[in-house]
Amino acid sequence: MMSPELVLGLTLGLGTAAALSIAAVVSSQKDSAEHQAVLQHGLAPITVLGAPSTDAMVDIGQGLYAANCASCHGAELEGEPNWRQPGPNGQMPAPPHDASGHTWHHPDQDLIAIIKHGIGAVQNGRHSRMPSFDEKLGDAQIEAILAFIKSSWPDHARRLQQNVTREAGSNL
């Protein structure tokens, strides 16, 4: 037979756990998508122009990245060696798109413009082999590629990049 103290302790413990669970459910229904992602995964959500991405979008982006970007930027998003130094031809090597690079320092608006029109769309005078994909990829495909790239970033990089995008004037 259980002592009254043990019964009371178990009752209080289970009651507290139930109350916390209910509070968490109610709270999560009111929270933003970003806050829900942090609660569930500990990471900022993957967003493109402020809109949350889906797992399907990331998967589509992975295939598009492999077909269109990996030959220069690397299958693992690692970029080319010595990407910060101009090559013998004076052009900059392809930078990494993982957290070791600088992709996450730029707003989505610039990243989309670079993919569509090449680096000259954002940085005049910058010499790069980055081609224009405007004729090859539509907006949804470009956004899926960005979602895939962002899926590799740690939380701090996602948050900083979201802020940079917001400050650049996206329609958030």
Collect all residues with Cβ–Cβ distance below 8 Å to 74 and sequence separation of at least 6: 80, 94, 96
d(CA 65, CA 93): 17
Confidence (pLDDT) at 1? 60
Average pLDDT over residues 94-114: 95
pLDDT of 46 over the 70 cut: yes
Q: Are residues 49 and 22 in the same domain?
A: no
CA-based max dimension of the chain? 84
Residue 19 counted as domain residue: yes
Number of domains in the chain: 2
Residue 172 within any structural domain of the chain: no
- Domain with 63 in it: what CATH number? 1.10.760.10
Domain that holds residue 20: 1-30
What's the chain's average pLDDT? Answer: 80
Both 3 and 48 in a single domain?
no
Measured distance CA(49)–CA(28) in Å, rounded: 23
Residues 58, 138, single domain; the answer is: yes
**Is the same domain home to 26 and 45?**
no
pLDDT band at 28 (very low <50, low <70, confident <90, very high): very low
Residues 74 and 15 in one domain: no
Q: Same domain, yes or no, for 75 and 136?
A: yes
